[in-house]
Homo-oligomer: A and B are copies of this chain.
């Protein structure tokens, strides 16, 4: 494969978007648009003639490398193209807040996490890990979220009381009505109380 075709292959592979011939031209200050076009075609022919599993296609003025349509079924079967089953860090954090403080509204989740969380809440709902369990009495009657049976099932718990409560949990993750949290301030508080 010629150096320019090699460079174009790498570019089409690594780019996060289809690339125009002008963008490909920027790869090498010494080449012309015509040379770039010829090299793209060389790459396309090479893929076709050598029986590669990918091909070069032009879509709306941009070039990209895609997997051959005939192979789609096998790829789906092997689940290499599906969305990951792993939860992202943001999802896990949001789930943690909801698990321990449910029922809880978006505003409270966002206050505890310190970031906007509506997208994450939607993803968790899509994955059936949380659901709307009611509405708060607060202004605007916001939705309240809780965890689903699937959540318990994935953790192998029969009910929410099986969630561990480690000593270092701060008050923020204590469910509102439970016994006093074990940090110093709270301990002082409890003493004063009794």
A residues bordering B, Cβ < 8 Å?
Answer: 1, 5-11, 13-17, 19, 23-24, 26-28, 46, 50-54, 65, 67-68, 71, 74-75, 77-81, 84, 89, 125-126, 128, 140-141, 166-168
Q: Which residues of chain B are near A167, meaning CB under 8 Å?
A: 140-141
Chain B residue nearest in CB terms to A88:
B128
Q: Are A68 and B10 in contact (CB under 8 A)?
A: yes
Q: Which residues of chain B are near A67, meaning CB under 8 Å?
A: 10, 13-14
Q: Are A14 and B141 in contact (CB under 8 A)?
A: no
Residue of A67, A128, A141, A167 contacting most chain B CB atoms (<10 Å): A67
Q: Which residues of chain B are near A71, meaning CB under 8 Å?
A: 6-7, 10
Q: Are B6 and A53 in contact (CB under 8 A)?
A: yes
Min CB distance A176 to B, Å, is 23
Min CB distance A150 to B, Å, is 11
Q: Are B27 and A80 in contact (CB under 8 A)?
A: yes
Chain B residue nearest in CB terms to A141:
B166
Chain B residue nearest in CB terms to A6:
B53
Known: A67-B13, A75-B14, A80-B15. A140 touches B168 (CB 8 A): yes
Known: A13-B65, A126-B89, A140-B167. A80 touches B50 (CB 8 A): no
Q: Which residues of chain B are near A80, meaning CB under 8 Å?
A: 11, 14-15, 19, 23, 27
Min CB distance A186 to B, Å, is 17
